[in-house]
Amino acid sequence: MLLRTAYHLAALLVLPPLLLGVVNRTKAFFAGRAGPPLVQPYLDLWKLLRKGAVYSRTTSWVFRAGPVIGLASIASAGLLLAMGGAPAAISFAGDFVLFAYLLGLARFVTALAALDTGSAFEGMGAAREVTFASLAEPAVFLVLLVLARATASLSLGGMLGPQLGAAWAGAAPALLLAAISLFVVALAENARIPVDDPNTHLELTMIHEVMVLDHGGPDLALIQYGAALKLFLFGAILSRIVFLPGVTGALAQEALFLLGVLAFAVGVGVVESAMARLRMVRIPQLLVGASVLSAFAIVLLLR
Amino acid sequence: MYLFVIAAPLVAAAVAFAVGSNERRPLALLAGALAHGAGVAALFVAPAPDRPGAWLALDAMGAVILLTITLLSVAASVYAQGYLRRRADRDNRVFVGGLLVLLSAMTTVALSHHLGLSWVAIEITTLATAPLIYFNHNARSLEAAWKYLLICSLGIALALMGTFFLALSGAAPGGPRSLLVEDLVAAGPALSGPWVRAAFVFLLVGYGTKMGLAPLHSWKPDAYGEAPGLLGAILAGGVTNLAFLSIARVFQVARAAGEDAFARDALVYMGLLSIALAAVFMVRQRDFKRMLAYSSVEHMGILALGIGIGGGAAAGAFFHTVNNGLTKGVLFLSAANIHRAYGSKLTDEVRGAARRLPLSGPLFLAGFLAVTGSPPFAPFFSEFAILYGAIGAGKFVVGGLYLAFLAIIFVGMGATVLGIVQGDPGDAPSVPGTSDGWLSAGPPLVLLLLVLVLGLWLPDGLRDLFASAAALVGGTSWE
Amino acid sequence: MASLLELAFILVVVIDLFVLASSRMGAAIRVVAMQGVVLGALPLLLAPPGHPLGHYVLLAGGALAIKGVLIPWLMFRAIREASIRREMDPVVGFVPSMVLGGIGVALAFAFSGRLPLPEPAHPFLVPTALSTAWAGMLLVVSRRKAVNQVLGFLVLENGVFVFGLLLSGFMPMMVEAGVLLDLFAAVFVMGIVMFHINREFSSLDTEKLSALKD
Neighbours of chain C (3+ CB pairs under 8 A): A, B
Task: State the nearest Cα–Cα gap between A293 and chain C, in angstroms.
Answer: 8
The answer to whether residue B19 is domain-embedded is no
- pLDDT band at residue B429 under the 50/70/90 scheme: confident
Number of domains in chain B: 1
- pLDDT band at residue B406 under the 50/70/90 scheme: very high
Among the partner residues C95, C105, C109, nearest to A284 by beta-carbon distance:
C95
Domain boundaries, chain A: 2-302
Do residues C20 and C98 make contact, with C-beta atoms less than 8 angstroms apart?
A: yes
pLDDT digits (tens, 9 = 90+) for B349-383: 888 888 888 888 899 999 999 999 888 899 999 99
Beta bridge partners of B112: B56
Separation between Cα atoms, residue B84 and residue B25, nearest integer Å: 9
Among the partner residues C159, C167, C210, nearest to B168 by beta-carbon distance:
C167
Q: Evaluate whether chains C and A are touching (3 or more beta carbon pairs less than 8 Å apart).
A: yes
Task: State the nearest Cα–Cα gap between C186 and chain A, in angstroms.
Answer: 31
**Which of B122, B125, B164 has the most C C-beta neighbours within 10 Å, making it the best mutation to test the interface with C?**
B164
Domain boundaries, chain C: 2-211
Q: C residues 92-111 near A, CB within 8 Å?
A: 94-95, 98-99, 101-102, 105-106, 109-110
- pLDDT band at residue B479 under the 50/70/90 scheme: low
* Least confident range of A232-246, B79-93, C75-89: C75-89
Mean pLDDT by 10 residues, chain A (303 residues): 83 92 93 91 93 88 92 92 78 88 93 90 88 91 92 84 80 89 93 82 75 87 93 92 78 87 94 87 90 92 82
The answer to whether residue B352 is domain-embedded is yes
**Which of A294, A299, A301 has the most C C-beta neighbours within 10 Å, making it the best mutation to test the interface with C?**
A299
Query: In the 8-state DSSP scheme, what is residue C70?
Result: I
Do residues B428 and B351 make contact, with C-beta atoms less than 8 angstroms apart?
A: yes
pLDDT digits (tens, 9 = 90+) for B291-330: 999 999 999 999 999 999 888 888 899 999 999 999 999 9
Rounded average pLDDT over B282-291: 88
- pLDDT band at residue C51 under the 50/70/90 scheme: low
Predicted local confidence at residue C173, as pLDDT = 59
The verdict on a CB contact (< 8 Å) between A173 and C101 is no
Neighbours of chain A (3+ CB pairs under 8 A): C
- pLDDT band at residue B187 under the 50/70/90 scheme: confident
Predicted local confidence at residue A48, as pLDDT = 93
Percent of chain B residues past pLDDT 70, beyond the cut = 99
Task: Please indicate if any CB of chain C lies within 8 Å of the CB of B157.
Answer: yes
**Which of A285, A286, A302 has the most C C-beta neighbours within 10 Å, making it the best mutation to test the interface with C?**
A285
Predicted local confidence at residue C55, as pLDDT = 74
- Name, in order, each residue with C-beta under 8 angstroms of A68's C-beta and a sequence gap of 6 or more: A222
Predicted local confidence at residue B319, as pLDDT = 92
Among the partner residues A172, A173, A285, nearest to C95 by beta-carbon distance:
A285
Predicted local confidence at residue C85, as pLDDT = 76
* Least confident range of A271-285, B394-408, B427-441: B427-441
The verdict on a CB contact (< 8 Å) between B195 and C201 is no
Report the phi/psi class of residue A272: left, alpha or beta, with left for phi > 0 and alpha for psi in -120 to 50. Answer: alpha
The answer to whether the peptide bond before residue B376 is cis (omega within 30 degrees of 0) is yes
pLDDT digits (tens, 9 = 90+) for B253-264: 888 888 888 899
Q: C residues 15-74 near A, CB within 8 Å?
A: 17-18, 21
Do residues C123 and A303 make contact, with C-beta atoms less than 8 angstroms apart?
A: yes
Predicted local confidence at residue C174, as pLDDT = 64
Residue predicted with more confidence, B477 or B83: B83
The answer to whether the peptide bond before residue A41 is cis (omega within 30 degrees of 0) is no
Please report the number of interchain residue pairs, chain B to chain C, with beta-carbon separation below 8 angstroms: 114
Check pLDDT > 80 for residue B120: yes
Q: What is the mean pLDDT of chain B?
A: 88
> What residues of C are in contact with residue B172 (Cβ under 8 Å)?
118
The verdict on a CB contact (< 8 Å) between C105 and A177 is no
Rounded average pLDDT over C164-171: 74
Taking CA–CA distances from C197, the nearest residue in chain B reads B142
Separation between Cα atoms, residue B167 and residue C168, nearest integer Å: 11
> What residues of A are in contact with residue C106 (Cβ under 8 Å)?
295-296, 299
ipTM field? 0.89
The verdict on a CB contact (< 8 Å) between B156 and C211 is no
Check pLDDT > 60 for residue C1: no
> What residues of A are in contact with residue C123 (Cβ under 8 Å)?
303
